[in-house]
Structure 1
């Protein structure tokens, strides 16, 4: 619906929004809902779900648009475009370990907020990229986005799991994963639709959208407790 909306009309997207609203209405009335909407009364749950969605939009949406940029604008092969992402992905495992240690000492809020702020800075830094930017510089400018995502995501998941009753842990984990995957897919669809007109224009627009979304959830994450009681 989002990808073809510009050429086929937006009726499918409208149907999807209406169906989602109907789903929420039904879930709110059921005694045993698939998605217990009451979970969102907890600030930690609401903030971590939103932050998880923002991270997916920023990371997957940006990687997708840059993959198009590398191939369609710079003329790199698919292999060459993939190698451009090697520096950013190679650091994720180490950052995850560091994030867990920071969260264990200072609580989840610090790495969640810092990770998102780093991600926003990385997205804004990428606005400087154009066809004349040297390839090594472009690859290095992608690194802060990965650092931010890798630093914030593990404590984000842990904070949500701690915020829900034990019997709801599986539901909460499934909800967070579903929201993250849906957000990433929507980002790819919307940014891909923009790229259908101009990849270079879509690059800047997608970076600003991602930075705005991630910046808002970084601010919201300040409401998280320093440590869960």
Structure 2
């Protein structure tokens, strides 16, 4: 007599990897697509916004209390919103921009928006400790604001910024998992549709382990680069 689980089938009989393996491969590709596009676009926009936040702070490169206050409030409003709620709130705008609220492309748009605001605060926080003396020295030599940002500000904060972006990768990976709720695909959708909903722990933990490995690889690379930069 075959061993029967509470749901009527054994774990082995439920997990048909000949069917699930191609779906798992597709899910990994979708996750990497969502994460990489979000990190590249949202990370770049967030870097610019973070520099503006830093620069407009009182006493900084292009101080502007009004602009700083507006941006500061906007970032503080968006950042705390749980991403699953943010997905729902962004649905009308997502439809206008992407043309649909379902699928990988529809998931990427709100991910980029959230990533931009999250990155901006991380960038600002890592630029604040930069020695003002170096900035003033560059100013005294006639360097333009853009030159100071490019040759002094960013290089001096580069190691902590790399670690911040590694931390951001984890957050974006988490967002990509929640995107499965709107049919965004990826490992999150794979774990929910073929693991959780079918009571198959093998499938669920396969997705979990792959995500853990992705995080460990990215964190190890970021640590190595940051360590090398700090030794210079």
> Is TM > 0.5 for Structure 1 vs Structure 2?
no
Query: TM-score with structure 2 length normalisation?
Result: 0.32
Greater RCO (Cα-Cα under 8 Å, separation 6 or more)? 1
- State which structure, 1 or 2, has the greater radius of gyration over its C-alpha atoms: 2
